Chains A and B, each alone.
Chain A
Amino acid sequence: MRFDSAIADRVTAVVLFALGGAMLWGGFVMDRLEIRQIHPASIPGLVPMILGAAMMLCAALLAWSATSAERKKPDEGSWRNFAFTAVWSCFFAVVLVSRIPFAAATAIYVAGFAGWFMLPDTPSASRLKVTVLIIGFGLVTALAISSLFRYGFLVRLP
């Protein structure tokens, strides 16, 4: 998958053009506060309209220059690693946090994260030992961070 390519630029240009259009329209139909008798040049929608128009112009230029643009060499990386990190981290931040106690959520997240990446590369002979270490690391991290914020910074944890 290449994010820095002509096709990606064209797709982005369409998205940005729509975003610019939405902001231009949003600014245009925004309440002009006539009832408060403000100066017509200070309507709240003025700058959003300008920004929307500027974004539409830039999006058009992006689409126009997509094929001729200079490209950097793409970074080689693992999309599998990325997908797990993104999904597991979002699950922690959006689902676990605020539904179960923060310390428990953190322990599950940290241990799960480390286990997913480290256990497959561990020889089967030492897998049990590494698993215990990872669970211990998750618990210690969770307790340390929770205690720091709860008792050090007096934060009511989610």
Chain B
Amino acid sequence: MEALQQFGLALLALLTPVGLFHVAWATLLGIFVGSLPGLTATMGVALLTTLTYTMERDAAILVLICMYVGAIYGGSRSAILLNIPGTPASAATSLDGYPLAQRGEAGYAMGLATAGSALGTLVGILLLVLLAPPLAAIAFDFGSFEFFWLAVFGIVISGQLTGGVSPLKGYIAGLLGLMVAMIGSEGLHAHVRFNLGFDQLNGGIGLIPAMVGAFGFAEVLTVMHRRRAELVKGEGRPDRVLPKLVDLVRYKFTILRSGVIGTLIGIIPGVGEDIGAWASYAAARRTSREKNEFGQGSKEGLTAAETGNSAVVPGALIPALTLAVPGSAPAAVLIAALFLHGIRPGPMIMIEQPTFIYSVAAMLVLATLAIAVFGLSLTRLFIQVLRIPRELLMPVVFTLCVIGPYALTQRVFDIWVMVVFGLIGFVLRQMNYPMAPLVLGIILGALVDKSLRRGLTLTDGDLTPFFTRPISAVFVVIIVLSIVAGLKPVRRAISRLGWFRQERKDA
């Protein structure tokens, strides 16, 4: 009851003309960013972070959350109309969205995607409000030992689930991220490591320049390298957009299940929206009476995918806020933005800022309402956005990639960092290395480093407590099981059980 009251107060505080204006423009911008192939939610949040640093704290976080929610939802537009997911989160959406568009039901598919996204986010918000406070309370029992394993767990599980056909590449990406985090002054004795003779590296690699490079410049290169996308025929005459209530009632269990799956996937560190969508899609197909229609234009499949990916957003914020461990790549940037604006995510958040979680939930609700309104009323506008030539859009995006990181620190060196990470990011993508573990590694590197050495100092060099403390032991068991599950023979056995990876291969 108290939670509801806090949530109501937080919502009221945001319902000002300025607050609503921020919700409107940031969500709309997010939908545009998400709908354009090549512009991802992570890139949108990273670029917008550089534009919000002069804003007041709550307004800045509101804008970033609206961008995040809008971009994840916006990806469905191009998935349905171009058969190219605007963001990786919408890859599953294109499986049924594009066939629906080819049948002349593009408008209805977009309407259904809107309803699924909105309902999925609402399920996630409910779980955020319910789960975040107890998780923060549990995290009070975490010491150096537990935080060390939590960080390792995040990188292993992220590498495992985002590595696609090769978990090894996921682990390598995670290790690369951790190695990047070793550059600069370390957290225990302030000793400068691996600065390669550049004084500018004494403070370490900035997360924002690295993210803008890996997700911004690398995307620009990828988009210009890729073949040009073409709009589905007949998109200029959108059909009925408003979803039929009967469809939503028919798929109520699919929506609820996908919302819960998406949120739970979101809680797992560094896994992200695309896995949430695939897992929800696979679960819906397994239990559906219309299995054969999946992949041919199934409305249930489309609803499951969109509900699943949107529910990941609130889910990813649960560990981000309570443990400072991001549930997805955009949540990682959001953590950096929180620090920039003076909020310290982690177990202390319920002590230092007890109402902040409810403020975030209220921001998510407003963003959800905005995607519902824009999604159902501006279908034609979004189709026009997809017509913007990439030759005009991409140089503008890259210019923002250059000036954005510079604006934060006024250092030209950060532009070079962005360029280097962009080139590395492009090559890694081409080689099918996932980006999420890399980002997670950069974020969690300091935690791994400090927790291990602090724990060893406390135990006078004895490793035993790292394995015998109850929570640590649970983490160790899960990490070992995850790695074993990544081994080829075990994976073959799992795939025989019809695990959701099969869906990704089919795509």
Contact = CB atoms under 8 A, between A and B. Distances in A.
Contact of A109 (B189, B399, B423): B399
Contacts of B179: 19, 23, 48, 51-52, 55
A8 B165 contact: no
A78 B453 CA distance: 48
A28 interface: no
Interface in A11-47: 12, 16, 19, 23, 26, 30-31, 33, 36, 38-47
Contacts of A39: 456-457, 460-461
A113 B391 contact: yes
Contacts of A62: 168-169, 172
Q: Provide the main secondary structure of the chain B interface.
A: helix
A121 B392 CA distance: 14
A33 B179 CA distance: 21
B191 A31 contact: yes
A154 B399 CA distance: 17
A118 B410 contact: no
B394 interface: yes
A144 to B, nearest CB: 9
A92 B394 CA distance: 14
B168 A58 contact: yes
B227 A77 contact: yes
A131 interface: no
A86 interface: yes
A109 B193 CA distance: 36
Q: Provide the main secondary structure of the chain A interface.
A: helix
Task: Count chain B CB atoms within 10 A of each CB in A76, A86, A90 and give the residue with the most.
Answer: A86
B194 A26 contact: yes
A62 B168 CA distance: 7
B289 interface: no
Contacts of A81: 224-225
A154 B54 contact: yes
Contacts of A141: 395-396, 399
Interface residues of A, number: 74
B182 interface: yes
Contact of A106 (B226, B399, B410, B460): B399
Given A39-B457, A62-B168, A51 B175 contact: yes
A156 B410 contact: yes
Interface string B391-417: 110111011101100110010100110
A24 to B, nearest CB: 11
Contact of B452 (A23, A47, A55, A118): A47
B391 A89 contact: no
A19 B416 CA distance: 21
A65 interface: yes
A129 interface: no
A155 B54 CA distance: 10
B188 interface: yes
Interface string A55-67: 1001101100100
A104 interface: no
B461 A40 contact: yes
A105 B54 CA distance: 25
27 contacts: A12-B431, A16-B172, A30-B193, A33-B191, A38-B188, A41-B453, A46-B452, A48-B182, A48-B193, A51-B178, A51-B182, A52-B179, A55-B172, A55-B176, A69-B166, A84-B224, A85-B221, A89-B220, A89-B398, A93-B419, A114-B391, A141-B399, A149-B403, A149-B407, A153-B51, A155-B406, A158-B412
Given A102-B403, A114-B391, 5 more contacts: A9-B431, A30-B193, A54-B175, A71-B165, A155-B403
